[in-house]
Amino acid sequence: MNSNSQLGVSVDCVVFGYNGDSIKVLLIQQKTQDGGTITESELQMALPGDLVQAEETLSQCAARVLLELTSIEGIFLKQFHSFGDPDRVRGVKDEKWLETFREFPNKRIITVAYYALVSLHEYNPEASSFAGSIQWVDVDKVPELAFDHNEIFRYAVTTLRQHIEPHHIGFELLPKKFTLSQLQHLHELVLDKKLDKRNFRKNVKRMDHLVPLEEKQTGVLHKPAQLFTFNPEAVI
Amino acid sequence: MNSNSQLGVSVDCVVFGYNGDSIKVLLIQQKTQDGGTITESELQMALPGDLVQAEETLSQCAARVLLELTSIEGIFLKQFHSFGDPDRVRGVKDEKWLETFREFPNKRIITVAYYALVSLHEYNPEASSFAGSIQWVDVDKVPELAFDHNEIFRYAVTTLRQHIEPHHIGFELLPKKFTLSQLQHLHELVLDKKLDKRNFRKNVKRMDHLVPLEEKQTGVLHKPAQLFTFNPEAVI
Protein backbone atom coordinates (compact mmCIF):
# COMPACT_ATOMS: atom_id res chain seq x y z
CA MET A 1 0.00 0.00 0.00
CA ASN A 2 1.10 3.50 -0.77
CA SER A 3 2.58 5.40 2.17
CA ASN A 4 0.84 8.60 1.09
CA SER A 5 3.63 10.61 2.72
CA GLN A 6 4.00 13.09 -0.12
CA LEU A 7 0.57 14.63 0.26
CA GLY A 8 -0.52 17.81 1.96
CA VAL A 9 -3.92 19.40 2.43
CA SER A 10 -4.91 23.01 2.03
CA VAL A 11 -8.14 25.00 2.12
CA ASP A 12 -9.07 27.58 -0.51
CA CYS A 13 -11.95 30.05 -0.23
CA VAL A 14 -14.13 31.52 -2.96
CA VAL A 15 -15.64 34.58 -1.27
CA PHE A 16 -18.61 36.09 -3.09
CA GLY A 17 -19.65 39.62 -2.23
CA TYR A 18 -22.71 41.62 -3.29
CA ASN A 19 -23.00 45.38 -3.04
CA GLY A 20 -26.51 45.80 -4.43
CA ASP A 21 -25.15 46.19 -7.91
CA SER A 22 -22.91 43.30 -8.97
CA ILE A 23 -21.51 40.04 -7.62
CA LYS A 24 -17.81 40.05 -6.89
CA VAL A 25 -15.21 37.53 -5.84
CA LEU A 26 -12.36 38.23 -3.45
CA LEU A 27 -8.91 37.68 -4.93
CA ILE A 28 -5.53 38.16 -3.34
CA GLN A 29 -2.42 39.42 -5.02
CA GLN A 30 0.49 37.18 -4.07
CA LYS A 31 3.27 39.20 -2.46
CA THR A 32 7.03 39.12 -2.61
CA GLN A 33 9.03 37.77 0.29
CA ASP A 34 11.48 39.97 2.23
CA GLY A 35 14.89 39.11 0.82
CA GLY A 36 13.38 36.47 -1.45
CA THR A 37 13.98 35.96 -5.15
CA ILE A 38 10.41 36.16 -6.40
CA THR A 39 9.79 39.28 -8.52
CA GLU A 40 6.68 41.38 -9.10
CA SER A 41 6.19 39.98 -12.60
CA GLU A 42 6.22 36.45 -11.24
CA LEU A 43 3.31 37.11 -8.90
CA GLN A 44 -0.26 36.10 -9.68
CA MET A 45 -3.77 36.65 -8.44
CA ALA A 46 -5.16 33.75 -6.43
CA LEU A 47 -7.97 32.62 -4.19
CA PRO A 48 -7.24 33.05 -0.48
CA GLY A 49 -6.03 29.78 1.04
CA ASP A 50 -3.50 28.08 3.32
CA LEU A 51 -2.26 24.69 4.46
CA VAL A 52 -4.35 22.96 7.12
CA GLN A 53 -2.62 23.14 10.48
CA ALA A 54 -2.15 20.26 12.89
CA GLU A 55 -4.96 20.89 15.36
CA GLU A 56 -7.60 22.60 13.28
CA THR A 57 -10.64 21.18 11.47
CA LEU A 58 -11.19 21.99 7.81
CA SER A 59 -13.83 24.61 8.55
CA GLN A 60 -11.68 26.16 11.27
CA CYS A 61 -8.92 26.44 8.69
CA ALA A 62 -11.27 28.17 6.22
CA ALA A 63 -12.39 30.63 8.91
CA ARG A 64 -8.77 31.32 9.86
CA VAL A 65 -7.77 31.95 6.23
CA LEU A 66 -10.51 34.54 5.86
CA LEU A 67 -9.66 36.20 9.13
CA GLU A 68 -5.89 36.28 8.53
CA LEU A 69 -5.94 37.27 4.89
CA THR A 70 -8.87 39.62 4.84
CA SER A 71 -9.98 40.39 8.43
CA ILE A 72 -13.40 38.92 7.55
CA GLU A 73 -15.02 37.08 10.43
CA GLY A 74 -18.25 35.23 11.18
CA ILE A 75 -19.67 35.01 7.67
CA PHE A 76 -21.47 32.19 5.85
CA LEU A 77 -18.94 29.54 4.82
CA LYS A 78 -19.70 26.22 3.16
CA GLN A 79 -17.47 23.44 1.92
CA PHE A 80 -18.36 22.50 -1.66
CA HIS A 81 -15.67 20.33 -3.28
CA SER A 82 -12.14 18.98 -2.94
CA PHE A 83 -9.67 19.27 -5.79
CA GLY A 84 -6.89 16.73 -5.96
CA ASP A 85 -5.59 16.26 -9.47
CA PRO A 86 -1.88 15.41 -9.43
CA ASP A 87 -1.31 18.28 -11.93
CA ARG A 88 -2.79 21.14 -9.90
CA VAL A 89 0.51 23.06 -10.25
CA ARG A 90 0.12 24.55 -13.70
CA GLY A 91 3.04 26.78 -14.61
CA VAL A 92 6.48 28.17 -13.94
CA LYS A 93 5.04 30.96 -11.78
CA ASP A 94 3.27 28.40 -9.59
CA GLU A 95 6.53 26.51 -9.13
CA LYS A 96 8.47 29.66 -8.27
CA TRP A 97 5.89 30.69 -5.68
CA LEU A 98 5.94 27.23 -4.07
CA GLU A 99 9.76 27.25 -3.93
CA THR A 100 9.64 30.64 -2.21
CA PHE A 101 6.88 30.02 0.30
CA ARG A 102 6.65 26.29 0.98
CA GLU A 103 8.94 24.09 2.99
CA PHE A 104 8.27 21.13 0.65
CA PRO A 105 7.54 22.73 -2.73
CA ASN A 106 7.18 19.42 -4.59
CA LYS A 107 4.64 17.93 -2.27
CA ARG A 108 1.29 17.24 -3.93
CA ILE A 109 -1.41 19.35 -2.30
CA ILE A 110 -5.08 18.38 -2.22
CA THR A 111 -7.28 21.38 -1.53
CA VAL A 112 -10.67 21.48 0.14
CA ALA A 113 -12.66 24.40 -1.29
CA TYR A 114 -15.20 26.52 0.58
CA TYR A 115 -17.42 29.27 -0.68
CA ALA A 116 -18.31 32.21 1.48
CA LEU A 117 -20.99 34.87 1.14
CA VAL A 118 -20.62 38.41 2.37
CA SER A 119 -22.89 41.41 2.11
CA LEU A 120 -20.69 44.30 1.04
CA HIS A 121 -23.23 46.59 2.63
CA GLU A 122 -21.71 45.57 5.95
CA TYR A 123 -18.07 44.62 5.40
CA ASN A 124 -15.10 46.44 4.04
CA PRO A 125 -12.32 43.87 4.25
CA GLU A 126 -8.68 44.82 4.40
CA ALA A 127 -5.66 42.84 3.27
CA SER A 128 -3.49 41.51 6.03
CA SER A 129 -0.89 38.84 6.78
CA PHE A 130 0.68 37.23 3.73
CA ALA A 131 -1.66 38.59 1.10
CA GLY A 132 -0.03 41.46 -0.78
CA SER A 133 -3.35 43.11 -1.41
CA ILE A 134 -6.93 42.02 -1.85
CA GLN A 135 -9.39 43.01 -4.53
CA TRP A 136 -13.07 42.51 -5.17
CA VAL A 137 -13.33 41.53 -8.84
CA ASP A 138 -16.57 41.21 -10.84
CA VAL A 139 -17.31 37.52 -11.32
CA ASP A 140 -17.32 37.97 -15.11
CA LYS A 141 -13.91 39.69 -15.08
CA VAL A 142 -11.79 37.17 -13.22
CA PRO A 143 -8.26 37.06 -14.70
CA GLU A 144 -6.01 34.03 -15.02
CA LEU A 145 -5.32 32.79 -11.50
CA ALA A 146 -2.57 30.71 -9.91
CA PHE A 147 -2.68 26.89 -9.83
CA ASP A 148 -6.14 25.46 -10.65
CA HIS A 149 -7.92 28.40 -9.02
CA ASN A 150 -9.91 29.29 -12.15
CA GLU A 151 -11.36 25.80 -12.12
CA ILE A 152 -12.20 26.07 -8.40
CA PHE A 153 -13.81 29.47 -9.00
CA ARG A 154 -15.98 28.13 -11.86
CA TYR A 155 -17.07 25.17 -9.74
CA ALA A 156 -18.05 27.61 -6.98
CA VAL A 157 -20.17 29.67 -9.37
CA THR A 158 -22.01 26.54 -10.51
CA THR A 159 -22.53 25.49 -6.90
CA LEU A 160 -23.85 28.93 -5.92
CA ARG A 161 -26.40 28.71 -8.77
CA GLN A 162 -27.53 25.28 -7.62
CA HIS A 163 -27.73 26.28 -3.95
CA ILE A 164 -29.27 29.74 -4.05
CA GLU A 165 -32.89 28.61 -4.31
CA PRO A 166 -33.12 25.33 -2.36
CA HIS A 167 -30.69 26.36 0.40
CA HIS A 168 -31.96 29.94 0.88
CA ILE A 169 -28.48 31.35 0.99
CA GLY A 170 -29.14 34.52 -1.01
CA PHE A 171 -30.07 36.34 2.18
CA GLU A 172 -26.45 36.16 3.30
CA LEU A 173 -25.55 38.57 0.50
CA LEU A 174 -28.22 41.16 1.30
CA PRO A 175 -28.40 43.81 3.99
CA LYS A 176 -30.43 42.80 7.07
CA LYS A 177 -33.49 44.62 5.73
CA PHE A 178 -34.19 44.38 2.02
CA THR A 179 -36.92 44.81 -0.58
CA LEU A 180 -38.30 42.06 -2.81
CA SER A 181 -36.79 43.89 -5.79
CA GLN A 182 -33.35 43.62 -4.21
CA LEU A 183 -33.88 39.90 -3.55
CA GLN A 184 -35.01 39.33 -7.14
CA HIS A 185 -32.11 41.34 -8.57
CA LEU A 186 -29.65 39.22 -6.61
CA HIS A 187 -31.24 35.97 -7.81
CA GLU A 188 -31.16 37.24 -11.40
CA LEU A 189 -27.47 38.06 -11.12
CA VAL A 190 -26.56 34.69 -9.65
CA LEU A 191 -28.69 32.69 -12.07
CA ASP A 192 -27.71 34.97 -14.96
CA LYS A 193 -31.29 35.24 -16.26
CA LYS A 194 -34.35 37.45 -15.90
CA LEU A 195 -37.07 36.16 -13.59
CA ASP A 196 -40.77 36.86 -13.91
CA LYS A 197 -41.66 39.37 -11.19
CA ARG A 198 -45.11 37.95 -10.38
CA ASN A 199 -43.93 34.34 -10.17
CA PHE A 200 -40.89 35.29 -8.15
CA ARG A 201 -42.98 37.18 -5.59
CA LYS A 202 -45.55 34.41 -5.41
CA ASN A 203 -42.82 31.86 -4.72
CA VAL A 204 -40.83 33.79 -2.13
CA LYS A 205 -43.91 34.98 -0.26
CA ARG A 206 -44.75 31.35 0.47
CA MET A 207 -41.49 31.00 2.42
CA ASP A 208 -41.87 31.09 6.20
CA HIS A 209 -38.36 32.43 6.64
CA LEU A 210 -39.05 35.61 4.63
CA VAL A 211 -40.48 37.95 7.24
CA PRO A 212 -42.33 41.16 6.22
CA LEU A 213 -41.48 44.15 8.42
CA GLU A 214 -43.69 47.07 9.42
CA GLU A 215 -41.19 49.31 7.70
CA LYS A 216 -40.59 50.85 4.31
CA GLN A 217 -37.55 52.01 2.42
CA THR A 218 -36.36 55.54 3.15
CA GLY A 219 -34.36 57.95 1.05
CA VAL A 220 -35.59 56.74 -2.32
CA LEU A 221 -37.11 58.88 -5.03
CA HIS A 222 -39.69 56.31 -6.14
CA LYS A 223 -42.57 55.01 -4.03
CA PRO A 224 -40.86 53.36 -1.03
CA ALA A 225 -41.15 49.55 -1.02
CA GLN A 226 -41.86 47.33 1.95
CA LEU A 227 -38.85 45.90 3.76
CA PHE A 228 -38.35 42.24 4.59
CA THR A 229 -35.90 40.32 6.73
CA PHE A 230 -34.71 36.73 6.88
CA ASN A 231 -35.47 34.40 9.77
CA PRO A 232 -32.92 31.57 9.52
CA GLU A 233 -34.72 29.58 12.20
CA ALA A 234 -37.80 29.21 10.03
CA VAL A 235 -35.87 27.27 7.38
CA ILE A 236 -36.92 23.62 7.49
CA MET B 1 3.82 28.28 8.39
CA ASN B 2 2.90 24.74 9.25
CA SER B 3 4.78 22.09 7.28
CA ASN B 4 1.66 19.96 7.04
CA SER B 5 3.86 16.86 6.81
CA GLN B 6 1.76 14.77 9.19
CA LEU B 7 -1.31 14.64 6.98
CA GLY B 8 -2.56 11.99 4.61
CA VAL B 9 -5.56 11.78 2.33
CA SER B 10 -7.95 8.91 1.80
CA VAL B 11 -11.17 8.34 -0.12
CA ASP B 12 -14.22 6.62 1.41
CA CYS B 13 -17.26 5.47 -0.54
CA VAL B 14 -20.88 5.27 0.54
CA VAL B 15 -22.40 2.89 -2.01
CA PHE B 16 -26.19 2.87 -2.08
CA GLY B 17 -27.96 -0.04 -3.75
CA TYR B 18 -31.63 -0.55 -4.59
CA ASN B 19 -33.18 -3.90 -5.36
CA GLY B 20 -36.74 -2.76 -6.00
CA ASP B 21 -37.61 -3.29 -2.36
CA SER B 22 -35.27 -1.40 -0.01
CA ILE B 23 -32.23 0.89 -0.10
CA LYS B 24 -29.03 -0.65 1.13
CA VAL B 25 -25.50 0.51 1.80
CA LEU B 26 -22.38 -1.49 1.08
CA LEU B 27 -20.23 -2.20 4.16
CA ILE B 28 -17.02 -4.12 4.41
CA GLN B 29 -15.93 -6.29 7.28
CA GLN B 30 -12.33 -5.48 8.14
CA LYS B 31 -10.18 -8.58 7.90
CA THR B 32 -7.29 -9.98 9.90
CA GLN B 33 -3.77 -9.82 8.54
CA ASP B 34 -1.76 -12.99 7.83
CA GLY B 35 0.50 -13.40 10.84
CA GLY B 36 -0.79 -10.16 12.34
CA THR B 37 -1.94 -9.55 15.89
CA ILE B 38 -5.42 -8.19 15.19
CA THR B 39 -8.16 -10.58 16.33
CA GLU B 40 -11.68 -11.21 15.05
CA SER B 41 -13.24 -9.37 17.98
CA GLU B 42 -11.19 -6.28 17.22
CA LEU B 43 -12.53 -6.00 13.68
CA GLN B 44 -15.28 -3.59 12.72
CA MET B 45 -17.60 -2.88 9.85
CA ALA B 46 -16.55 0.11 7.75
CA LEU B 47 -17.17 2.00 4.54
CA PRO B 48 -14.92 0.91 1.67
CA GLY B 49 -11.94 3.28 1.33
CA ASP B 50 -8.20 3.59 0.83
CA LEU B 51 -5.33 6.07 0.83
CA VAL B 52 -4.94 8.18 -2.30
CA GLN B 53 -1.99 6.96 -4.34
CA ALA B 54 0.68 9.14 -5.88
CA GLU B 55 -0.51 9.39 -9.46
CA GLU B 56 -4.27 9.10 -9.17
CA THR B 57 -6.94 11.77 -8.97
CA LEU B 58 -9.52 11.66 -6.18
CA SER B 59 -12.21 10.21 -8.44
CA GLN B 60 -9.80 7.65 -9.87
CA CYS B 61 -9.06 6.61 -6.29
CA ALA B 62 -12.78 6.23 -5.56
CA ALA B 63 -13.27 4.12 -8.69
CA ARG B 64 -10.26 1.96 -7.77
CA VAL B 65 -11.55 1.39 -4.22
CA LEU B 66 -14.86 0.15 -5.56
CA LEU B 67 -13.22 -2.08 -8.12
CA GLU B 68 -10.63 -3.54 -5.74
CA LEU B 69 -12.86 -4.04 -2.74
CA THR B 70 -16.08 -5.01 -4.40
CA SER B 71 -15.44 -5.67 -8.13
CA ILE B 72 -17.97 -2.92 -8.93
CA GLU B 73 -17.06 -0.91 -12.02
CA GLY B 74 -18.47 1.93 -14.08
CA ILE B 75 -21.24 3.10 -11.75
CA PHE B 76 -22.41 6.58 -10.79
CA LEU B 77 -19.94 8.11 -8.33
CA LYS B 78 -20.07 11.62 -6.90
CA GLN B 79 -17.87 13.43 -4.42
CA PHE B 80 -19.98 15.03 -1.68
CA HIS B 81 -17.88 16.13 1.30
CA SER B 82 -14.44 15.94 2.91
CA PHE B 83 -14.07 15.04 6.56
CA GLY B 84 -11.02 16.30 8.37
CA ASP B 85 -11.57 16.59 12.09
CA PRO B 86 -8.35 15.91 14.00
CA ASP B 87 -10.27 13.34 16.12
CA ARG B 88 -11.53 11.09 13.32
CA VAL B 89 -9.89 8.09 15.04
CA ARG B 90 -12.48 7.24 17.66
CA GLY B 91 -11.54 4.16 19.64
CA VAL B 92 -9.10 1.45 20.61
CA LYS B 93 -10.22 -0.75 17.71
CA ASP B 94 -9.49 2.05 15.24
CA GLU B 95 -6.00 2.45 16.67
CA LYS B 96 -5.33 -1.27 16.56
CA TRP B 97 -6.41 -1.47 12.93
CA LEU B 98 -4.22 1.47 11.97
CA GLU B 99 -1.20 -0.06 13.72
CA THR B 100 -1.77 -3.30 11.82
CA PHE B 101 -2.40 -1.90 8.35
CA ARG B 102 -0.78 1.51 8.07
CA GLU B 103 2.86 2.42 7.74
CA PHE B 104 2.32 5.64 9.74
CA PRO B 105 -0.57 4.82 12.11
CA ASN B 106 -0.48 8.17 13.91
CA LYS B 107 -0.71 10.31 10.82
CA ARG B 108 -3.86 12.42 10.64
CA ILE B 109 -5.96 11.37 7.66
CA ILE B 110 -8.38 13.66 5.87
CA THR B 111 -10.92 11.72 3.86
CA VAL B 112 -12.75 12.76 0.72
CA ALA B 113 -16.13 11.03 0.63
CA TYR B 114 -18.00 9.87 -2.47
CA TYR B 115 -21.41 8.37 -2.80
CA ALA B 116 -22.17 5.80 -5.45
CA LEU B 117 -25.44 4.46 -6.77
CA VAL B 118 -25.93 0.95 -8.06
CA SER B 119 -28.97 -0.87 -9.30
CA LEU B 120 -28.95 -4.26 -7.61
CA HIS B 121 -31.01 -5.53 -10.49
CA GLU B 122 -27.78 -5.56 -12.48
CA TYR B 123 -24.87 -6.05 -10.07
CA ASN B 124 -23.96 -8.72 -7.65
CA PRO B 125 -20.72 -7.48 -6.11
CA GLU B 126 -18.21 -9.81 -4.51
CA ALA B 127 -15.66 -9.09 -1.80
CA SER B 128 -12.08 -8.99 -2.97
CA SER B 129 -8.66 -7.63 -2.01
CA PHE B 130 -8.32 -6.46 1.58
CA ALA B 131 -11.99 -6.51 2.52
CA GLY B 132 -12.78 -9.56 4.63
CA SER B 133 -16.31 -9.68 3.29
CA ILE B 134 -18.87 -7.24 2.02
CA GLN B 135 -22.50 -6.90 2.97
CA TRP B 136 -25.47 -4.93 1.74
CA VAL B 137 -27.12 -3.55 4.87
CA ASP B 138 -30.49 -1.77 5.00
CA VAL B 139 -29.86 1.94 5.45
CA ASP B 140 -31.92 1.95 8.66
CA LYS B 141 -29.97 -0.96 10.14
CA VAL B 142 -26.40 0.30 9.88
CA PRO B 143 -24.36 -0.83 12.92
CA GLU B 144 -21.60 1.10 14.68
CA LEU B 145 -18.82 1.60 12.13
CA ALA B 146 -15.08 2.26 12.36
CA PHE B 147 -13.64 5.79 12.66
CA ASP B 148 -16.18 8.55 11.82
CA HIS B 149 -17.87 6.37 9.19
CA ASN B 150 -21.33 6.66 10.79
CA GLU B 151 -21.08 10.43 10.43
CA ILE B 152 -19.98 10.09 6.78
CA PHE B 153 -22.84 7.68 6.12
CA ARG B 154 -25.44 10.06 7.66
CA TYR B 155 -24.07 12.97 5.61
CA ALA B 156 -24.39 10.82 2.47
CA VAL B 157 -28.04 10.01 3.24
CA THR B 158 -28.81 13.72 3.65
CA THR B 159 -27.00 14.50 0.41
CA LEU B 160 -28.87 11.77 -1.48
CA ARG B 161 -32.18 13.27 -0.28
CA GLN B 162 -31.14 16.72 -1.45
CA HIS B 163 -29.85 15.50 -4.83
CA ILE B 164 -32.43 12.95 -5.91
CA GLU B 165 -34.91 15.42 -7.37
CA PRO B 166 -32.83 18.29 -8.79
CA HIS B 167 -29.97 16.10 -10.05
CA HIS B 168 -32.11 13.28 -11.51
CA ILE B 169 -29.92 10.60 -10.01
CA GLY B 170 -32.67 8.19 -9.01
CA PHE B 171 -32.48 6.56 -12.41
CA GLU B 172 -29.07 5.16 -11.53
CA LEU B 173 -30.74 2.93 -8.96
CA LEU B 174 -33.40 1.53 -11.26
CA PRO B 175 -33.23 -1.13 -13.94
CA LYS B 176 -32.85 0.25 -17.51
CA LYS B 177 -36.60 -0.03 -18.09
CA PHE B 178 -38.90 0.86 -15.22
CA THR B 179 -42.47 1.83 -14.44
CA LEU B 180 -43.55 5.12 -12.89
CA SER B 181 -44.63 3.19 -9.80
CA GLN B 182 -41.08 1.90 -9.39
CA LEU B 183 -39.69 5.43 -9.80
CA GLN B 184 -42.14 6.79 -7.22
CA HIS B 185 -41.41 3.97 -4.76
CA LEU B 186 -37.69 4.73 -4.97
CA HIS B 187 -38.26 8.45 -4.35
CA GLU B 188 -40.49 7.65 -1.39
CA LEU B 189 -37.84 5.40 0.13
CA VAL B 190 -35.07 7.96 -0.29
CA LEU B 191 -37.16 10.89 0.94
CA ASP B 192 -38.75 8.75 3.66
CA LYS B 193 -42.24 10.06 2.94
CA LYS B 194 -45.30 9.20 0.86
CA LEU B 195 -45.72 11.21 -2.35
CA ASP B 196 -48.99 12.06 -4.02
CA LYS B 197 -49.30 9.82 -7.09
CA ARG B 198 -50.99 12.40 -9.34
CA ASN B 199 -48.56 15.21 -8.52
CA PHE B 200 -45.58 12.91 -8.84
CA ARG B 201 -46.65 11.74 -12.30
CA LYS B 202 -47.45 15.28 -13.44
CA ASN B 203 -43.98 16.44 -12.37
CA VAL B 204 -41.93 13.61 -13.82
CA LYS B 205 -43.83 13.55 -17.10
CA ARG B 206 -42.68 17.11 -17.74
CA MET B 207 -39.06 15.90 -17.75
CA ASP B 208 -37.50 15.54 -21.19
CA HIS B 209 -35.09 12.89 -19.95
CA LEU B 210 -37.87 10.50 -18.92
CA VAL B 211 -38.59 8.62 -22.14
CA PRO B 212 -41.77 6.56 -22.56
CA LEU B 213 -41.20 3.25 -24.35
CA GLU B 214 -43.55 1.36 -26.65
CA GLU B 215 -43.39 -1.49 -24.19
CA LYS B 216 -45.23 -2.76 -21.16
CA GLN B 217 -44.29 -4.81 -18.14
CA THR B 218 -44.40 -8.57 -18.57
CA GLY B 219 -44.90 -11.35 -16.07
CA VAL B 220 -47.07 -9.40 -13.66
CA LEU B 221 -50.45 -10.45 -12.34
CA HIS B 222 -51.95 -6.95 -12.38
CA LYS B 223 -52.60 -4.87 -15.48
CA PRO B 224 -49.11 -4.36 -17.01
CA ALA B 225 -47.83 -0.78 -16.72
CA GLN B 226 -46.00 1.22 -19.37
CA LEU B 227 -42.21 1.11 -19.25
CA PHE B 228 -39.97 4.16 -19.30
CA THR B 229 -36.26 4.72 -19.67
CA PHE B 230 -33.84 7.50 -18.79
CA ASN B 231 -32.08 9.61 -21.40
CA PRO B 232 -29.11 11.22 -19.58
CA GLU B 233 -28.38 13.44 -22.59
CA ALA B 234 -31.69 15.24 -22.20
CA VAL B 235 -30.75 16.55 -18.75
CA ILE B 236 -30.07 20.26 -18.95
- Residue by residue, pLDDT tens for chain A (236 residues) are 344 457 899 999 999 999 888 999 999 888 766 666 677 777 889 999 999 998 899 999 999 998 887 777 888 899 999 999 988 887 888 888 888 888 888 889 999 999 999 888 766 666 555 556 788 899 999 999 999 999 999 999 999 998 888 777 888 899 999 999 999 999 999 999 999 999 999 988 888 889 999 999 888 888 899 999 998 777 65
Residue in B162, B169, B154 with CA at minimum distance from that of residue B230: B169
Contact state of B2 with A110 under an 8 Å Cβ cutoff? no
Contact state of A9 with B6 under an 8 Å Cβ cutoff? no
ipTM of the complex: 0.84
Q: How confident is the model at residue B130 (pLDDT cuts 50, 70, 90)?
A: low
How far apart are the CA of B72 and the nearest CA of chain A, in angstroms? Answer: 20
Average pLDDT over residues B231-236: 72
Question: Residue B26 has what DSSP assignment?
Answer: E
Average pLDDT, chain A: 86
pLDDT (tens digit per residue) in A28-55: 888 766 666 677 777 889 999 999 998 8
How far apart are the CA of A4 and the nearest CA of chain B, in angstroms? Answer: 6
| Percent of chain B residues past pLDDT 90, beyond the cut | 49
Query: Quick check: B131 pLDDT over 80?
Result: no
pLDDT of residue B231: 86
Question: What residues of B are in the A interface, CB distance below 8 Å?
Answer: 1-10, 50-58, 79, 81-86, 101-104, 107-108, 110, 112, 162, 166
pLDDT of residue A23: 94
Query: Contact at 8 Å (CB) between B97 and B65?
Result: no
Q: How many Cβ pairs within 8 Å bridge chains A and B?
A: 102
pLDDT of residue B58: 97
pLDDT (tens digit per residue) in B162-210: 888 877 788 889 999 999 999 999 999 999 999 999 999 998 888 888 9
Query: Quick check: B32 pLDDT over 80?
Result: no
3-state secondary structure of A181: helix
pLDDT of residue A130: 54
- Among all residues of chain A, which has the CA nearest to that of B58? A84
pLDDT (tens digit per residue) in B144-160: 999 999 999 999 999 99
**Considering only CB atoms, which chain B residues are within 8 Å of A83?**
58
Query: CA angle at residue B81 from B79 to B87, to 5 degrees?
Result: 135
**Confidence (pTM):** 0.87
Domain coordinates in residue numbering, chain A: 7-164, 176-234
Query: Contact at 8 Å (CB) between A12 and A49?
Result: yes
Residue in A63, A93, A90 with CA at minimum distance from that of residue A76: A63
Would you say how long chain A is, in residues? Answer: 236
Give whole-number Cα distances, B10 to A29, A137, B7, B95, B129, in Å. 32, 35, 10, 16, 17
**Considering only CB atoms, which chain A residues are within 8 Å of B52?**
2, 4, 7, 84, 110
**Considering only CB atoms, which chain A residues are within 8 Å of B56?**
86
Fold of B7-164: Nucleoside Triphosphate Pyrophosphohydrolase (3.90.79)
Question: Residue B75 has what DSSP assignment?
Answer: -
pLDDT of residue B18: 92
Nearest CB to A81 within list B10, B51, B79 = B79
Q: First-to-last CA distance in chain B?
A: 44
Question: Residue B87 has what DSSP assignment?
Answer: T
Nearest CB to A84 within list B58, B84, B162 = B58
Task: Specify the CATH class of A176-234 in words.
Answer: mainly alpha
Domains A7-164 and A176-234 share a fold: no
How far apart are the CA of B88 and the nearest CA of chain A, in angstroms? Answer: 10
Nearest CB to A9 within list B1, B56, B110 = B110
